[in-house]
Amino acid sequence: MVKSGWGATDSTSLQSADVDVIVVGGGGVAGLYLLYRLKGLGLSATAFEAGQDVGGTWYWNRYPGCRCDVDSLEYSYSFASDLQQEWHWPERYGTQPEILRYLSHVANRFALRRYIRFNTRVTSAVFDSESNLWTVVTDQNDTVRAPFCIMATGNLSTPRKPDFPGIDMFQGASYHTGLWPHEGVDFTGLKVGIIGTGSSGVQSIPHIAAQAEHLHVFQRTANFSLPARNAPMDAEIEAMHKVEYPVRRQAAYDTPFGIAGYPPPEKSALEVSAGERERIYESKWRYGGSISFLYAFNDLLTNKAANDTASEFVRQKIRATVKNSKVADLLAPTTHPIGTKRLILDTNYYETYNRDNVTLVDVKGAPIEEITRTGLRTTKGSYDLDAIVFATGFDAMTGAMLDIDIRVSGGPALKDSWSAGPRTYLGLMIAGFPNLFTITGPGSPGVKSNMMLSIEQHTNWIVDCLQHLRSRRHRRIEVEPEAEENWVSHVREVADSTLYPLANSWYMGANIPGKPLIFMPYVGGVHMYKKKCDEVVANGYEGFAISG
């Protein structure tokens, strides 16, 4: 292992560091890019990855139908011009196997695997304030010390099954979409039940329905889904996009969602005639994708009356597609404004309910009471099943970090600091936890954006910060509590000026019983966030105390 070179000449304590940086979660989009950047700066790093190979999200979520909901020409790294010019995406939205192949290619091409210890889960990370070193321990009994520790653990990397009574009694096969078997699953001839109609459920339901003898969909909350309009990659579009890449990638940073090419809407949904509104929604519906639709008007996420027009448009589309009117009513979302939960993109989702072998079961009206040996039971009936698919989501944004015992020796544990909800400065660092960075953490716009771009932006900020510290021979950086307090308040104020808090979403922690109900992402937009991050640096790392 390469020893830490961090100020080694003037520090005895650092001579006991094994590397400069420990990366937790080395296999995802964030871990890989981080390793690439650290390597480029000549910093030594060890990364730990719970998975057996690279891919992160795209390694674990192998359920049928899993694919990107951002155009792949955008959902791809921008850091290497050759890579983005050479890589060919066969379809508008990459499938899980394609994205996994891409990330594996990146790991090979930039020789990143050598830094990653696979099949290794970090269990604790403890900072010693005297030596300014993090000590990280894993489930494989590794102990590694470094001045800096970076959490690239992902926001949607802790799959969660509800705590149904009897869940371990089921004698059939059960799966979670986020932990899908690598060899795939053949549902042919089986009676299958799927619980959950978020993005994972909506993407997988048409595929499972096409195989299974019968599919029962257990829906608690209806969600809005738009047609993806996936298609083979258009050669002309691809060529043009690649020519424009340098401009597009830069322009993406000036947009709220980190995706260029969509002119910002200027009008309110309420200032045009009903006919004009319908025409605009219809053209967005036909084009496919979520950004296009949410960009129909400038107030869809801030004005309930404006949002109602878009929500109703989609409800009408659902009613026009689903032949059984009772089923259509159940599928038409009424509990939240469109866009306040992650807007889903699908291929033939609503059409699937016209199949004879698909039954929608309302488990809001009649909740699931228990999983039985032979299926499941709701308050209204029992269902015999050969297989159950849990498309029940994740302990999002905080789950992976809180699964690790992160603490400062003699000081607080992260789970205590975050007991009332996560608090960060810029989603990059946490007051009271020196030299610990997070990539797209709570308080950043990460999950509300094209994650590839946000991950690159966060990583660049962190690595530039390390470079700044190293060039000045500093050994310690920490957040000033007041800066964190101000940022947390700002994140809350911005969220409160939108419709987002009206939805019981995982953004709010609402999907996990007992989790504090705090709106976690920053929804001021990638453009505003990046501006703030850049200003912080220009003002000499405003809000951070640098020492050592």
Please give the residue ranges that form the binding site for ligand FAD (CB under 6 A).
24-25, 27-31, 48-51, 56-57, 59, 61, 66, 68-70, 75, 121-122, 152-154, 156-157, 200, 400, 404, 439-440, 450-451, 455
Residue 451, binding choice from ligand FAD, ligand NAP, none, Cβ under 5 to 8 Å by partner class? ligand FAD
What is the DSSP code (8-state) at residue 342?
Answer: P
Q: Tell me the CA distances in angstroms from 545 to 60, 67, 458, 466, 508, one per residue in order.
A: 38, 42, 19, 14, 30
Q: Is 297 helix (H, G, I), strand (E, B) or coil?
A: coil
Name the minimum Å distance from CB 80 to ligand FAD: 17
Residue 11 or 398 with smaller CB distance to ligand NAP: 398
Q: Is 493 helix (H, G, I), strand (E, B) or coil?
A: helix
Site for ligand NAP in 131-160 (CB under 6 A): 156
d(CA 45, CA 449): 28
Answer for which of 136, 368, 376, 503 binds ligand NAP (CB under 6 A) is 368
Residue 300 or 477 with smaller CB distance to ligand NAP: 300
Q: Number of residues interacting with ligand NAP: please give it, by CB under 6 A.
A: 25
Name the minimum Å distance from CB 178 to ligand NAP: 6
Would you count residue 220 as binding ligand NAP (CB under 6 A)?
yes
Report the relative pairing of strands 368-371 and 375-378 from DSSP bridges.
antiparallel
Name the minimum Å distance from CB 347 to ligand FAD: 14
Residue 49, binding choice from ligand FAD, ligand NAP, none, Cβ under 5 to 8 Å by partner class? ligand FAD
Binding window for ligand NAP (CB under 6 A); candidates: 5-13, 112-120, 193-201, 246-254:
193-201
Q: How much helix, strand and coil, in percent to the nearest 5, is found in the chain? A: 35, 20, 45
Name the minimum Å distance from CB 69 to ligand FAD: 4
Name the minimum Å distance from CB 184 to ligand FAD: 16
Q: Is 414 helix (H, G, I), strand (E, B) or coil?
A: helix
Residue 41 or 510 with smaller CB distance to ligand NAP: 510
Closest by Cα among 4, 5, 1, 7 to 473:
7
Q: What is the sign of the dihedral through the CA atoms of 179, 368, 399 and 508? A: positive
Q: Please write down the long-range contacts of 166-172, taking CB distance under 8 Å and 24 or more positions apart.
A: 166/370, 166/371, 166/372, 166/373, 167/371, 169/371, 169/372, 169/373, 170/371, 170/372, 170/373, 170/374, 170/375, 170/376, 170/388, 171/373, 171/374, 172/374, 172/375, 172/385, 172/386, 172/387, 172/388
Binding window for ligand NAP (CB under 6 A); candidates: 266-274, 283-291, 389-397, 533-541:
389-397
d(CA 291, CA 304): 18
The values of phi and psi at residue 543, to 5°, are 90, -5
Residue 47, binding choice from ligand NAP, ligand FAD, none, Cβ under 5 to 8 Å by partner class? none
d(CA 257, CA 237): 21
Q: Tell me the CA distances in angstroms from 96 to 32, 62, 72, 269, one per residue in order.
A: 17, 7, 11, 35
Note the Cα 496 to chain centre separation in Å.
22
Name the minimum Å distance from CB 349 to ligand FAD: 15
Residue 20 or 346 with smaller CB distance to ligand NAP: 346
Binding window for ligand NAP (CB under 6 A); candidates: 2-10, 190-198, 288-296, 459-467:
190-198
Residue 156 or 296 with smaller CB distance to ligand NAP: 156
Answer for which of 18, 20, 69, 386 binds ligand NAP (CB under 6 A) is 69
Residue 396 or 503 with smaller CB distance to ligand FAD: 396
What is the DSSP code (8-state) at residue 300?
Answer: T
Answer for which of 68, 112, 291, 494 binds ligand NAP (CB under 6 A) is 68
Pair of tokens at residue 480: 């000033």
- Residues of this chain that bind ligand NAP (CB under 6 A): 68-69, 156, 162, 177, 195-201, 203, 220-221, 342, 345, 363, 368, 391-394, 506, 511
